[in-house]
Structure 1
């Protein structure tokens, strides 16, 4: 039983699909998250195979006063997808994909991963931009905004979301878009999982037969970091980049004598033909002699490397925010702090934004930091409870040193819990509108295992 009144047999009958409880052979694998450091034990995990089953599970949790969480990919750094002693609605059974080649759109089940979706539509020379990791669920990354390899050219994932099928807290199944339930559709595009369970997404597809992309590893001097950021800002919109400054990992293409030395692990994606792509990436190759150069023409799914879901994830602490610029002084700060830490894994990740992201108004979607020039993430591995305070202090000190007075954070990368962290992801006017919409669609805050936006009537 869960709570005091719901029998597992009743749950199976009502929801369809798998119902997994403690003691079942697949319970431990079903509750495992991709983010490290969580060992939560839900009372039951329900994996419906259709939207009606999701609605039934939501209704059982609501009527029984049972805590509820919703899982798609399980990548969220705060571990909200799985809760202790409650009911988890696991969407991984919802993997249907319907592609409209003539209309250049696709309806995608909320349990698909970015890699599975990307591989399937690439067979038709098409793409929708998600993030940069194939195993991430399309649900989580879409609802938080979606910054990835195609963002400077085609905008965020939410800018390519045309409609959604949503199970609301009162059990209704709604088809929403810009004309039907427009407030809810606005809130879904950046407001996270606060407003319902999205069981299907309708996306815009773009022609993309191939890209020029891959990893470019450069020595991580301050001069090289500043030059990489400058080249990324000056690049055409077709080129999106991620610069991760970190100790070089023990990968086959990294010379042994350089492993553990600071490098820029640059991920480049030029969404276009080979000749133009080679011209666009040339300024990055000219920064310094590469440690490794794996940038080449490839199908777009080639940028999503294979991911082992059973590989243990490190426990980390981190912050996310925005910068106005990455000049030499900023780069020197990054190198100095990374050099003074002995954490086995530590990194500063820089994503130059702009392009199509910035050409959408701040109030068009719930993602509201369109004018931000650079996203920055600071992360440190934690070896154990005794290690956490020092690693957190290092993250906090570096975050403070990098502060340029640019407000905001990216909700998909917020790993800390608590209302102040959720609120940091939204401009004040956006937060107020989200709280008012929450009061309409989830007044009792049933969907609260997330970066929660509490309902406020009349805000």
Structure 2
């Protein structure tokens, strides 16, 4: 049966929902515009949709009541937390369950755990932990909602030491499609616990996470170093050296990403570096970059709290203002990296930008040189997250601001990443990562950095059959259908 977008809900039906909630119900065309509009805004404006109903629950019971309302009226539903996604699963035209009012964080320093409501932003949990001399594994920026990054996997500068965000979940409370609330852990509903660690929102809304915390005895050495365009070839020549001779020999403490940004129509290479230790040690790991002669002074690297390195307010100042329509695509290739293949990928990237140089001037290409050994050490079938292997995550953010370019830019982004995968497949020197077959580009991806159109097997790999069985158990009517939705398998 086709789902309703909620536009046919009567005032009596909506008022009936309101009377059962502590939270708020906001309705398009009825609620004040200055209240409604901010609720549909997203980090990625490519996916701003005018939802007919937005529910702002304040309690777990509110979430359960709203889910039952959704089921009763067969509504199209989306889950919103930090609203910071590439592919837009937090947006929809029907009813949105927006958890932004549920943001309580409790830290137990003795047990080294943090209990956080599902609407929290990553930074709120990070700061609460750091205030107690501890740290939590979250992602690259503190504006991300913990629901999406945790259930999607979650990669951090701390992951080489402690694993994915999902690997640091001790327990969760999950609101199912029938409104029930279940505890999920290794000892309670362990199949659901398996599914929410990498399976996204396929099985329900996580109303509360319990995270493992780690000691935080010191600040970290971090910053960005940029280089002039004439050093691109030398920068490319350093990629293997940095990863193999420095990152992999740092005991997980040195994390670094290469960033190629457009600046005034010119491609500028740079590195965002992070060392979990004192400055004198950190300088040894960035020495190859210092020897290359960065455009930015070494003082751009400095000791700072870990929370400062994920500060979105600070990071966003490096972005081109007004450019907030984003299509991200990615693949993964094996070490060592072929300079020939990488240079070709850069040339293809520049050719795409050249079609609309002004519109795409905020775009960037990112190469992840971090150590994935810890993540890959956990068996692929241990959690729903399937991308447990080493390799370089290669991603491109096509960023623009002209709505009329949306369709073209998304097609160009997909065409670009297919060309990169094709070049990997054809190369005799470069190997990609694949589940089966020849050395093609990755067929199991980091699903939080894609446009949402990848095949399910590309996201879940060999875990897909089990995902389908779990879908039949926990969401048989496909209520949760916004983030790589899996079809239920009812066979015995």
Q: Which sits farther off after the overlay, 11-20 or 49-58?
A: 11-20
1:65-106 CA-to-partner distances (Å, cap 9, x unmatched) read 11111001111222121211x111001111000100001110
Contiguous gaps of at least 5 residues in structure 1: 249-258
CA contact (8 A) 2:225 2:294 kept: no
Contiguous gaps of at least 5 residues in structure 2: 1-5, 355-359, 426-431, 433-439
SS in 1 for 2:15: helix
Deviation at 1:394, TM superposition (A): 4.1
User: What does residue 464 of structure 2 align with?
Assistant: 431
User: What does residue 261 of structure 1 align with?
Assistant: 266
CA contact (8 A) 1:228 1:284 kept: no
**Superposed counterparts of 1:189-228, under 5 Å:** 189-208=197-216, 209-219=218-228, 221-228=232-239
CA contact (8 A) 1:243 1:351 kept: yes
**Superposed counterparts of 1:388-407, under 5 Å:** 388=409, 389-390=411-412, 392-402=414-424, 404=432, 405=440, 406-407=442-443
SS in 2 for 1:451: coil
Structure 1 residues 408, 222: closer, same or farther in 2, change over 3 A? farther
Q: How well do the aligned residues superpose, as a CA RMSD in angstroms? A: 2.3
CA contact (8 A) 1:130 1:157 kept: yes
**2:14 corresponds to 1:8:** yes
CA contact (8 A) 1:222 1:335 kept: no
Which among 375, 384, 392 is matched to residue 374 of structure 1?
Answer: 392
User: What does residue 360 of structure 1 align with?
Assistant: 378
Number of residues paired by the alignment?
444
SS in 2 for 1:363: helix
1:181-224 CA-to-partner distances (Å, cap 9, x unmatched) read 11110111101111000011110111123111121223451331
1:323-380 CA-to-partner distances (Å, cap 9, x unmatched) read 1132322331233223333232333211134232122121111112212311111232
User: What does residue 256 of structure 1 align with?
Assistant: none
* TM-score, scaled relative to structure 1: 0.90
**Superposed counterparts of 1:414-429, under 5 Å:** 414-417=450-453, 420-427=454-461, 429=462
Structure 1 residues 284, 295: closer, same or farther in 2, change over 3 A? same
User: What does residue 485 of structure 2 align with?
Assistant: 452
Measure the CA separation in 2 of the matches of 1:344 and 1:398. Answer: 21
**Superposed counterparts of 1:23-42, under 5 Å:** 23=29, 24=32, 25-42=34-51
Measure the CA separation in 2 of the matches of 1:324 and 1:49. Answer: 46
SS in 2 for 1:443: coil
User: What does residue 251 of structure 1 align with?
Assistant: none
* TM-score, scaled relative to structure 2: 0.84
Q: Which sits farther off after the overlay, 311-320 or 167-176?
A: 311-320
Deviation at 1:423, TM superposition (A): 3.0
User: What does residue 89 of structure 2 align with?
Assistant: 80
**Superposed counterparts of 1:9-408, under 5 Å:** 9-23=15-29, 24=32, 25-84=34-93, 86-208=94-216, 209-219=218-228, 221-234=232-245, 235=247, 236=250, 237-248=252-263, 259-293=264-298, 294-307=300-313, 312-325=322-335, 326-340=337-351, 341-342=353-354, 343-352=360-369, 353-382=371-400, 383=402, 384-385=404-405, 387-388=408-409, 389-390=411-412, 392-402=414-424, 404=432, 405=440, 406-408=442-444
